[in-house]
């Protein structure tokens, strides 16, 4: 059974934004849920933020209209409420690097230069450890095969789905349907709260069982357990290799690039190369708001981010040489 040590209290967070990079885009909706380690919900915070133009493609993707944000909270007020809500608690998010960079940039921008230092933990990385070898770790795909209701691209439904995913991992759910079939696994540790070895008494074993029952009870409305497969639990689950981590980062970057496109469904990679240092050179086609298709170049550098447009083309020309790296074109198209 997976052993995920959750903090006594934590927050699950999701943003809806007008773009991919915090310096050029804005958060227009916040969804946050504060919970205890045994799955009890303490409070929710759901805010629409005013003062920004909602692009047509974002309205189509999320259903958030200009009128809805115009009636929302001013940015400074919204960020003050979020900062008060999360306090110093650890924050869980699916593809947490996205929420982290927006939270830190805009908290500093709208909260008087505040340096947000909360720990961010990625449930996508946790899912990769819990169920290695799955074809996709998108939140929607995981929820589909866990029987979790999911309404993508709205902040509170996404946060609720992420919370339910945490519950599925904490209570030992096995993915058993279709291509996602996978037995239970044991996650030896979790980066949010490193385990400390202690003698195991009979009382401790009983308490652990009571904890599991409480968590299942609290999540019963959201998680509908299915019969467990009889495949034995592996003794050890090796973590992803450095090469896998670089590929995962490239897949995440590709997914984020698609999300930011004017017509996300039209984006297709025609060439993608992963260099030894993790840099990913991308060539792709996409349609604009008028349906015209163009060929674009982009470069993703771990720790720096994605560069697109004219700057992306210049960086692509400088860094991406023919014959270097590993082709991951098919992998990225499958991931998005």
Got the DSSP string for 68-90?
HHHTSB-HHHHHHHHHHHHTT--
Res 174: pLDDT: 57
| Domain shared by 215 and 258, yes or no | no
Interval 298-308 mean pLDDT: 88
DSSP code of residue 113: T
Most confident of 42-46, 134-138, 151-155, 273-277: 42-46
Q: What angle do CA 313, 315, 319 make, to 5 degrees?
A: 120
Nearest to 132 by CA among 89, 84, 188, 93: 188
Which range has the worst mean pLDDT, 8-17, 18-27, 38-47, 321-330?
A: 321-330
| Domain shared by 234 and 267, yes or no | no
Query: Residue 284 pairs with which residues in a beta bridge?
Result: 269, 296
**Where in the sequence is the domain holding 86, given as residue range(s)?**
1-239
Q: Is the pLDDT of residue 77 over 90?
A: yes
- Token digits of residue 3: 């052993």
| Domain shared by 102 and 39, yes or no | yes
Q: Is the pLDDT of residue 243 over 60?
A: yes
Tell me phi and psi for residue 24, to 5 degrees.
Answer: -115, -5
Which one has a higher pLDDT value, 56 or 195? 56
| Domain shared by 58 and 200, yes or no | yes
Listing DSSP states for 151-193 in one string gives -TT-HHHHHHHHHHHHHHHHTT--B-SGGG-B--------TTS
CATH of the domain at 235: 3.30.420.10
Number of domains in the chain: 2
| Domain shared by 116 and 264, yes or no | no
| Domain shared by 171 and 226, yes or no | yes
Res 334: pLDDT: 74
Q: Spell out the residues 6+ positions from residue 37 whose beta carbon is closer than 8 angstroms to its own.
A: 6, 7, 8, 9, 10
The answer to whether the Cα torsion of 204, 198, 11, 303 is positive or negative is negative
Nearest to 240 by CA among 250, 232, 228: 250
Single residue among 174, 205, 239 that ends a domain in this structure:
239
DSSP code of residue 264: G
| Domain shared by 196 and 250, yes or no | no
Secondary structure tally for the chain: helices H, strands E: 11, 10
Q: Spell out the residues 6+ positions from residue 61 whose beta carbon is closer than 8 angstroms to its own.
A: 153, 259, 264
| Domain shared by 36 and 162, yes or no | yes
| Domain shared by 110 and 200, yes or no | yes
| Domain shared by 318 and 304, yes or no | yes
d(CA 205, CA 217): 19
| Domain shared by 221 and 255, yes or no | no
- Helix H, strand E, coil C: the string for 221-238 is CCCCCCCCCCCCCCCCCC
Res 225: pLDDT: 40
How many other CB atoms sit within 10 Å of the CB of residue 304? Answer: 10
The answer to whether the Cα torsion of 69, 72, 78, 84 is positive or negative is negative
DSSP code of residue 278: S
Beta strand segments in the chain, E: 9-17, 27-36, 41-48, 91-93, 120-122, 268-274, 280-287, 293-301, 305-307, 326-327
Does the pTM surpass 0.85? The reply is no
Q: Is the pLDDT of residue 3 over 60?
A: no
Interval 160-185 mean pLDDT: 64
Query: Residue 10 pairs with which residues in a beta bridge?
Result: 35
Which one has a higher pLDDT value, 240 or 260? 260
| Domain shared by 322 and 173, yes or no | no
8 A C-beta contact, residue 167 and residue 213: no
Single residue among 182, 205, 239 that ends a domain in this structure:
239
Query: Residue 12 pairs with which residues in a beta bridge?
Result: 33, 92
Which one has a higher pLDDT value, 57 or 205? 57
Res 296: pLDDT: 92
d(CA 2, CA 234): 11
Single residue among 186, 205, 239 that ends a domain in this structure:
239
Most confident of 17-26, 213-222, 256-265: 17-26
Res 240: pLDDT: 58
């Amino acid at each position: 059974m997976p052993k995920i040590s959750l903090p006594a209290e934590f927050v699950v967070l999701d943003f809806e934004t007008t773009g991919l990079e915090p310096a050029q885009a804005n958060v227009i909706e916040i969804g946050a849920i504060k919970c205890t380690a045994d799955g009890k919900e303490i409070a929710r915070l759901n805010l629409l933020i005013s003062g920004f133009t909602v692009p047509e493609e974002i309205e189509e993707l999320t259903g958030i209209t200009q009128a809805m944000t115009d009636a929302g909270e001013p940015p400074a007020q919204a960020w003050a409420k979020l900062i008060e809500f999360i306090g110093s608690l650890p924050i869980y998010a699916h593809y947490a690097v996205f929420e982290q960079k927006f939270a830190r940039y805009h908290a500093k921008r709208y909260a008087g230069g505040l340096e947000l230092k909360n720990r961010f933990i990625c449930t996508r990385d946790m899912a990769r450890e819990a169920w290695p070898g799955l074809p996709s770790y998108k939140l929607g795909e995981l929820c589909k095969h866990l029987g979790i209701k999911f309404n993508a691209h709205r902040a509170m439904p996404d946060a609720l789905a992420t919370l339910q995913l945490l519950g599925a991992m904490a209570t030992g759910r096995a993915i058993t349907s279709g291509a996602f079939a996978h037995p239970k696994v044991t996650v030896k540790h979790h980066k949010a709260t490193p385990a400390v070895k202690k003698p195991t008494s009979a009382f401790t074993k009983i308490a652990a069982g009571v904890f599991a029952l409480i968590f299942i009870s609290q999540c019963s409305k959201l998680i509908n357990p299915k019969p467990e497969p009889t495949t034995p639990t592996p003794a050890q689950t090796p973590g992803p290799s450095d090469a896998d981590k670089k590929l995962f980062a490239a897949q995440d970057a590709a997914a984020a690039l698609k999300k930011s496109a004017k017509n996300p469904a039209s984006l297709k990679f025609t060439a993608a190369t992963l260099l030894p240092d993790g840099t990913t050179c991308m060539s792709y086609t996409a349609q604009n708001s008028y349906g015209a298709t163009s060929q674009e170049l982009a470069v993703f550098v771990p720790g720096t981010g994605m560069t697109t447009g004219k700057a992306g083309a210049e960086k692509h020309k400088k860094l991406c040489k023919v014959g270097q790296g590993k082709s991951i074109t098919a992998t990225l198209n499958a991931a998005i």
